[in-house]
Homo-oligomer: A and B are copies of this chain.
Amino acid sequence: MKIDMAYGSGGKQTSNLINDIFLKNFDNAVLAKMEDSAVLKVNGKIAYTTDSFVVTPIFFRGGDIGKVAVCGTVNDLLMMGAIPKYLTAGFIIEEGADMETIDQIAQSMSQAAREAKVKIVAGDTKVIEGKGGVYINTSGIGEIKTNGISISNCRKGDVILLSGNLGEHHAAIMSHRMGIENTIQSDCAPLRSMVKNLLDNNIKVHCMRDVTRGGLATVLNEVSKSSSCGVEIYEDSLPVSVQVRGFCDILGLDPLYMANEGKMIAVIPKSQAKKALAIMQKSRYGSNAAIIGKIVEGSGVIMTTALKGSRIIDILYGEGLPRIC
């Protein structure tokens, strides 16, 4: 069955869509009350964030727009040292979308939410003209357990850890669009257990950031700017899978600027770096974690290349890969 404009009317059809798809998949008592807002209890300091998702194709190897929409917002909360608790989901659906597609997306959101231990407590649906596309906004609330984690909190001597291989989400989306056959999967994943393991083991994390649009290069430049410091990384140390490396070589791509959806950096005091690395590597989605650099005096991001040269790493200019997330 196809979705038409009536499903966005706020009347009978909207109500059917909510009952048949969203209440079924996001089953929980708060949502089922169908109030104008969810009523929740939270304690003390919270993290609060939002992200919209427009990735195309909607389904790709390793995930879909629903999974990305949950993981993206969950990871943004985690990066502030918060344990994700609640999400909202706002759907903008283009006329002509299959009801089954929306159901599959909702199932996938539900599954990712279960893994991340968050509840989807409020939602909204609008329908616009178009060709069957879907856009999803999620916002999220997390409870902050650990204070002071901030993009502006990196200090000279701190060590930079990266949680795994670069470029997989980007390469998976691009392969799909170009019709290239390979086994590259999106890395899309919720990093709850990795972050929780770091915090529960008393690692004094100074800063965390998920490495999404704009890639590692852009994130490290944001660190440099916000913490007024320099960043030094080593090309040799950057984890990239053989498949993605080959993909990049053929297409002239740089993994430093490629988007990821299940990778983070953590900036850690030098004294705890090895312990933190071991924790990351033992955590789900962290087996390829590596120490990739350090915080230094100065400004900007410098990479020591494999040939022991130096290269200035700037923020992403231009459009990168449109609609990557």
A binding-site residues for B, Cβ under 8 Å: 4-6, 8-15, 33-42, 44-54, 75-77, 79-80, 82, 86, 88-92, 121-128, 135, 137, 139-142, 144, 150-152, 208-210, 212-214, 218, 222, 226, 259, 315-320, 322-323
Contact = CB atoms under 8 A, between A and B. Distances in A.
Contact of A10 (B37, B128, B142, B218): B218
24 contacts: A5-B322, A8-B213, A8-B323, A9-B318, A9-B322, A10-B316, A11-B213, A12-B318, A14-B213, A15-B315, A33-B152, A36-B80, A37-B49, A38-B47, A38-B48, A40-B47, A42-B46, A48-B141, A49-B88, A50-B122, A52-B91, A53-B126, A88-B139, A128-B323
Given A91-B52, A122-B50, A33 B150 contact: yes
Contacts of A222: 34
A116 to B, nearest CB: 14
B10 A212 contact: yes
Contacts of A80: 35-37, 39
A34 B88 contact: no
A123 B50 contact: yes
B315 A218 contact: no
A143 to B, nearest CB: 10
B322 A34 contact: no
A260 to B, nearest CB: 11
A195 to B, nearest CB: 12
Contacts of A35: 79-80, 150-151
Nearest to A210: B36
A40 B43 CA distance: 11
- The quantity of this chain's copies bound in the complex is 2
Nearest to A80: B37
A12 B316 contact: yes
A126 B324 CA distance: 10
Nearest to A213: B10
Contacts of A91: 52
Contacts of A10: 212-214, 218, 259, 316, 320
A235 B153 CA distance: 62
A52 B151 contact: no
Contacts of A79: 35-37
Give 9 closest A-B pairs by Cβ, nearest first. Answer: A10-B213, A11-B316, A10-B214, A50-B88, A139-B139, A137-B137, A37-B49, A37-B47, A6-B319
Given A151-B34, A226-B34, A48 B86 contact: yes
Contacts of A34: 151, 222, 226
A139 B122 CA distance: 9
A142 B76 contact: no
A128 B135 contact: yes
A41 B262 CA distance: 28
Contact of A50 (B9, B40, B90, B212): B90
Nearest to A123: B50
Residue in A48, A141, A152 whose Cβ sees the most chain B Cβ within 10 Å: A48
A39 to B, nearest CB: 6
A251 to B, nearest CB: 17
